[in-house]
Amino acid sequence: DTAVSQTPKYLVTQMGNDKSIKCEQNLGHDTMYWYKQDSKKFLKIMFSYNNKELIINETVPNRFSPKSPDKAHLNLHINSLELGDSAVYFCASSPAGGSDEQFFGPGTRLTVL
């Protein structure tokens, strides 16, 4: 009955590899997000999609490419992984925009060696 789910939960990989993280929400929300949380717990927005359309694209290297096949799914593909990409990545969803409560997934802990 998980509201926002992410896979995988843990990801350990070598520098230079390409990896994907998947996110699914069963809340019927229109808006989905990707956040990056660094080791100091700072949570920063990366992307936001509303009904499969990109609405927020923060200053993120273009090695990061989000894809939303439908409004219940938002995946994140990362090319040429770097050490600095090591962080916890959270997917979230909300009924509409930024004034609504956001529901977060459990996070994907990415470690780049």
Partner 1 sequence: QKEVEQDPGPLSVPEGAIVSLNCTYSNSAFQYFMWYRQYSRKGPELLMYTYSSGNKEDGRFTAQVDKSSKYISLFIRDSQPSDSATYLCAMSAGGYQKVTFGTGTKLQVIP
- Which amino acid appears at position 67 of this protein? K
Q: Return the range that interacts with partner 1 (CB under 8 A); candidates 20-28, 60-68, 78-86, 100-108.
A: 100-108
Asked if 95 is part of the footprint of partner 1 (rule: CB under 8 A), the reply reads: no
Cα separation, 21 vs 6, whole angstroms: 7
Residue 16 Cβ vs partner 1, minimum distance, rounded to whole Å:
27
Using CB under 8 A as the binding rule, the residues of this chain from 31 to 60 that contact partner 1 are 31, 40-45, 48, 50, 55-56, 58
Q: Using only C-alpha atoms, what is the Rg of the chain?
A: 13
Strands 19-25 and 73-78: antiparallel
Where along the sequence are the contacts to partner 1 (CB under 8 A)? 4, 31, 40-45, 48, 50, 55-56, 58, 90, 92, 96-99, 101-107
